[in-house]
Amino acid sequence: MTAVTPGMVCAHHHLYSTLARGMPAPPRTPRNFPEILELVWWRLDAALDLEMIRWSAMLGALEALEQGTTAIVDHHESPNAIEGSLSVIADACAEVGVRVVCAYGVTDRHGPDGARRGLEENRRFLAEGGRGLVGVHAAFTCDDATLDEAAALADEFGVGVHVHVCEDRVDVDAPERLRHLTTDAWVLAHGVHLPDDHGLRGTIVHNPRSNLNNAVGYARPARFDNPVALGSDGIGAAMLEEFAYAYFCHRADDVTAGPDAAWSWLETGRSLVPEAAEDRVTWSYAPMDPWHVAFTPGIRPLRVEVGGEVVWDDGHPTRVDPDEIRAKAAEQARRLHARL
């Protein structure tokens, strides 16, 4: 028995983190979310070069297809390899056959020049016709002028801003600082510590597994008036798994919750990348409805069609050599880990 659905969308991803697995342990154990950023992610992103970014994205795109995910809304940061990075990611995804919406996460944590170069990379990519949003790391690592410039750049290109919001208590000022800038096109990742009446416009992306991993709390996304979508925050792009995490977290908080809410969050992802609704995924299981999928681990796509082209068939990608991608990614992971 098989069933067909539209393509899955990962509404918040960090393809650059694909090579992080197995990285050397940080110098000391992080004790809270700001320390996780400082001791893990901000050391990793600073070590990235364009070749590492390329194979990280190739592997991430391959693993997305393997899970029936045909579109990724990516959020990228590589402070020592900014220029051209978004095109490297877009090209890698195109080669594998996955749709991607790119953004460079602007921040002032490397000084005003770092912020300027990040904004410039977003501008370059969008001006060259790239599919993207303007990225901002988070309000708590940006000054107001940078937030204003990012919002203005997004308006100029008629797109939204992709930004982390209230992932941790460290970012509780975000609603106050962003409220007057947001539009419905913004993508707000996390929202864990947003008040119910936050007043921000845009789609809130819930990343249940990442939130558990970082011990930042539960976002209770069912309380928001905003559209809610699901993301992985860089832990692969297995959206049926994220759906299951979203459902079980919801259920742990409210025993009357059903899986329909989390299933609808999966569907919201397709409003961010509408073409994914035309993609076709043939699954190893039927029926693909929330009550079945929530309690059936291990459902796999047998065949994936993106824009009418079969890009995954019978356990294999059709456009690329998966062994080559895994080998090249492993080689780049060794280089990256050696730098750490």
- Give the interface with Zn ion as residue ranges (CB under 5 A): 233
- Residue 320: CB minimum distance to Zn ion, A: 26
Other C-beta atoms lying within 10 Å of the C-beta of residue 253: 12
The smaller minimum CB distance to Zn ion, of residues 66 and 233, is found at 233
Our CB check for Zn ion shows the closer of 66 and 77 to be 77
CA distance 177 to 205: 19
> In the complex with Zn ion, which residue's Cβ is closer, 154 or 306?
154
Minimum distance of Zn ion from residue 331's CB (angstroms): 26
- Could you tell me the sign of the dihedral formed by the alpha carbons of 175, 142, 101, 67, in that order? negative
Helix, strand and coil percent figures for the chain, each rounded to 5: 45, 20, 35
Tokens of 120: 């410039």
**Which position's Cβ is nearest Zn ion?**
233
Residue 40 CB, shortest distance to Zn ion, in Å, is 13
Of 199, 275, 191, residue with least CA distance to 229? 191
- Cα distances from 52 to residues 23, 273, 281, in angstroms, run 14, 26, 30
Rg (CA), the chain: 19
Closest to Zn ion by CB, 140 vs 312, is 140
Select from 67, 54, 81, 77 the least CA-distant residue to 325: 54
Nearest to 318 by CA among 55, 64, 101, 65: 65
Nearest to Zn ion of 182, 232 (CB atom): 232
Shortest Å distance, C-beta 167 to Zn ion = 7
* Closer residue to Zn ion in complex, CB, 121/233: 233
The secondary element (H helix, E strand) that includes residue 66 is: none
